[in-house]
Structure 1
Amino acid sequence: MDLNKEIRSLFATTTNMSASLIKSLPDTHQAWVIRIGNDFGVGVAYKEDTSISERFTSARMWTAPITIHNENYNFLMLTCQDEYQRTEFSAICAQFVDPEERKNLLESPYTWWDRWRNLLGNSVKNKTPHGVLGELITMRKLWDLGEGPVWTGGEGGVNDIQCGSSEYEVKSTTIRYDSIVSITGQFQLDYHTSDSLYLIFCRFESSLSGESINDVVHSLVQRGMEEQKLEAALEKCGYEAGSSARTDRYKLLEMRKYKVDDSFPAITAKSFAGGQIPEAVVQFTYRLELAGLPYESWI
């Protein structure tokens, strides 16, 4: 049977929490169709003791221990949760388990992943690694100041961090000289549940001597933050444990703190007649030049 057709057929017949051997593959390159909860896809034995977890759109590449017929495996899997895309997804799965691709896949799974993600035109909607890093470093700074920060960016909050009576919006860039930030919506630079709002601007450069997301998470846990909550927030940002982007290192070149008050050039409801945004205005985004605005250096 054609490999793609067999995978499609096994998608329909494999039951939950089980694996079905793909018989059209040679014994030297075994692979299985698997179902684990809402995830379905394919898996191959992976000898490396490495945790991998990458996502794009509705697909995921990850590692997990699997037991088949009383034999334990460390599986490298490609799975999906969208049953309506089974036919399309089976073609990618066939490429994943193809014997001609197996050596390259097992030696460099991240390279395989990046190639297919780019081919499929995935638009990464998650925050950038340096964007998440800026928020985490701001969390660490506020923790060291005794402010008791709560990270709300991963929860889809309007602002990234809350500290009692203050809120913090964090913007990060890797552009060397620009100080332009994008503001999304009428609420991002407005007061909500606090008495004051601050904009933190971080400038990074890619550097082997810098810090990664994993580095800062480790430092936060050492300070007493709850690791489980941090990991849950990172997963919602698209950076769960095992994501390669969590090891990307950036050097913090500059960190500015701006107080967002009545003199700060923000567009909010107060900017409109009567202090209310017209009903016809549903959403707006604007770019803000920070050069020339007063700030406190935080580095």
Structure 2
Amino acid sequence: MTQQKKIPKIKKIKEELNKEFTFLKNVFSVMSLPLQMKGENEDNMDIEIVNDNEKSNEDVEMPKRARSIAELEEKLEKIKSQKKLSFKNKLQKKSLSSKLNKKIKKTERVKAKVKPVVDKPFADMLKASVEEKPKPNIAKPVFNNEGKLVFSKFDFANVGKRERPNKAEKDPKKILENLKQQEERLKQLEEKEDSSKVKEIKEKIAWKNVLQKAEGQKVKDDPILLKKTIKKMDQKKKQSKKQWDTRVQNVEQKKTERQKKRSENIAKKKKEKKSKIIKTSIKRGRVVI
């Protein structure tokens, strides 16, 4: 009886041990166990933790960066070949395209900077051909009387424009002064007995007057008429001055009248107000006359 009872107990113990063993096995398979590494001395022991799942940094291969234009183009084509692009791929595509453009521009700049090497004899030939070419005759700029640049042989700047006479010619006082100066000059020449010069000057003046009349200008060479016009101008000035003075007087008079009227109206209103106050106070018996 005792032997029969012992057998089931042993079985139970074995089953429990197996269960624990399997449990521990599973636990240790998941966990990373420390391994003992012997050094030079057996007493000094180094412990290293080895994990099968994790790879060391040395084993992990980093993705290679594309440096040349061809590599960049290949990468771009790979990304473009994908039907559906994720957000990360889109960003990568954008960065690659920008890098490619920069690279291409850089190469173009470098090519532009590099000068082509020319052989010495060929360079000498080029210089000789350049020197042999005759220089074109550059015409000097032409300016008109007013100092403006003329672009052709004919000056069309003043076409359709009338030459305005000077202001001095319109002013009768200045014209009279000029006539007096001319007469004085002629008298001086006559006194010196230069009759030929006097004749020349008179002829010039006559021709000038004729040309002015032909152009339709009024020739003002009569001193009597000029004096009359000056008198008229002075009279007009006097009249306008009188008119202005009378206007100023009228304005001032109207101003004083308005001010007077205003002051009278204000005084009248004040009196009326006072009289009203007195009347109301008499009615109420506050004031006794």
TM-score, L = length of structure 1: 0.19
Higher helix proportion:
2
Higher strand proportion:
1
Q: Which has the higher contact order (CA 8 A, sep 6+)?
A: 1
Larger Rg: 2
